[in-house]
């Protein structure tokens, strides 16, 4: 197939224009560049709470509930699962992540595959081997968009190559002499629909300032109520596209030089032996550990 490709490029360059292999090469390197950038970029991973931060949150919640109930008992109380904030007049719930021990910011979600909370979580893409989130979404979109152009480009000029060869030696002889062209045409024909369709779907998401996660869940669907709307949309397609593709890229909040602590050290067990964040410790073990 490689020999067929090397033969086909000079043929198209001579019979059509030298720009054909040049444009194809540029598209290929752009696709590979955006693919690598998407795969190896931090998608917007949110750092987990330290044991001190998690304990402080529990104390704040415990004090708030004690005041509300008129009680001063120091028993363990798990944090609430949600908080409510108002964004552009729309009520948005912030969910508590029992793995990361934080209240996730708006549009963030916990990825079960990466086991991290990701800001503006879109989806986990197995083809790039990474989550798609706030910090690498634009590169993912440029990847699938350029891949769509490259697939259409290859399919169009493979068909052109077969047609030109058919005019010289007949259709059957052209297929016999260029089996790689036939294989590429078949592969491109069946793959172009899904790739172009995926690009169109994400173009719709960008124009409406939504994520795949929000669209699948129907977070801003009118079926949930007439007063339900997308608080993140600017109300203009161009503005939404500029915000998603041309806005400033937020810095990574990952401490790349930090040390990973074992989960057993990050989990602080309550004094009454209740399960907290996946860790349990009985009262007898706690008493035995006190010097």
CB 198 within 8 A of CB 144: yes
Q: What is the DSSP letter of 107?
A: T
Q: Provide φ and ψ at 5, rounded to 5°.
A: -65, -40
Q: What is the DSSP letter of 276?
A: B
Catalytic-role residue among 9, 111, 117, 125: 125
Query: In the Cβ-directed half-sphere of 32, how many Cα atoms lie within 13 Å?
Result: 6
In angstroms, the CA 274 to CA 163 distance is 74
CA-based nearest residue to 204, from 157, 230, 237, 245: 237
Residue 125 annotated as catalytic:
yes
CB 100 within 8 A of CB 45: no
- Residues carrying an active site annotation: 125
């Amino acid at each position: 197939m490689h020999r067929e490709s090397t033969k086909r490029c000079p043929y198209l360059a001579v019979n059509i224009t030298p720009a054909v292999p040049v444009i194809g090469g540029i598209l290929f390197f752009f696709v590979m560049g955006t693919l690598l950038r998407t795969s190896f970029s931090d998608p917007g991973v949110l750092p987990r709470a330290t044991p001190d931060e998690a304990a402080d949150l529990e104390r704040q919640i415990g004090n708030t509930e004690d005041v509300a109930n008129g009680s001063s008992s120091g028993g363990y109380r798990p944090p609430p699962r949600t908080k409510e904030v108002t964004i552009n007049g729309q009520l948005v719930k912030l969910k508590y992540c029992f793995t990361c021990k934080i209240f996730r910011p708006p549009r963030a979600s916990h990825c079960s595959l990466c086991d991290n909370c990701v800001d503006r979580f879109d989806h986990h893409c197995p083809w790039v081997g990474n989550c798609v989130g706030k910090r690498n979404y634009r590169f993912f979109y440029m990847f699938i968009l350029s891949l769509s152009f490259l697939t259409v480009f290859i399919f169009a000029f493979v068909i052109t190559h077969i047609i030109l060869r058919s005019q010289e030696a007949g259709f059957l002889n052209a297929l016999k002499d260029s089996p790689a062209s036939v294989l590429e045409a078949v592969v491109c024909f069946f793959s172009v629909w899904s790739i172009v369709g995926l690009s169109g779907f994400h173009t719709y998401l960008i124009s409406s300032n939504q994520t795949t996660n929000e669209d699948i869940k129907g977070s801003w669907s009118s079926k949930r109520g007439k007063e339900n709307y997308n608080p993140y949309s600017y109300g203009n397609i161009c503005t939404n596209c500029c915000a998603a593709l041309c806005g400033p890229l937020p810095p990574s909040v990952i401490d790349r030089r930090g040390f990973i602590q074992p989960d057993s050290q990050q989990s602080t067990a309550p004094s009454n032996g209740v399960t907290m964040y996946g860790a349990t410790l009985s009262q007898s073990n706690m008493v035995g550990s006190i010097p």
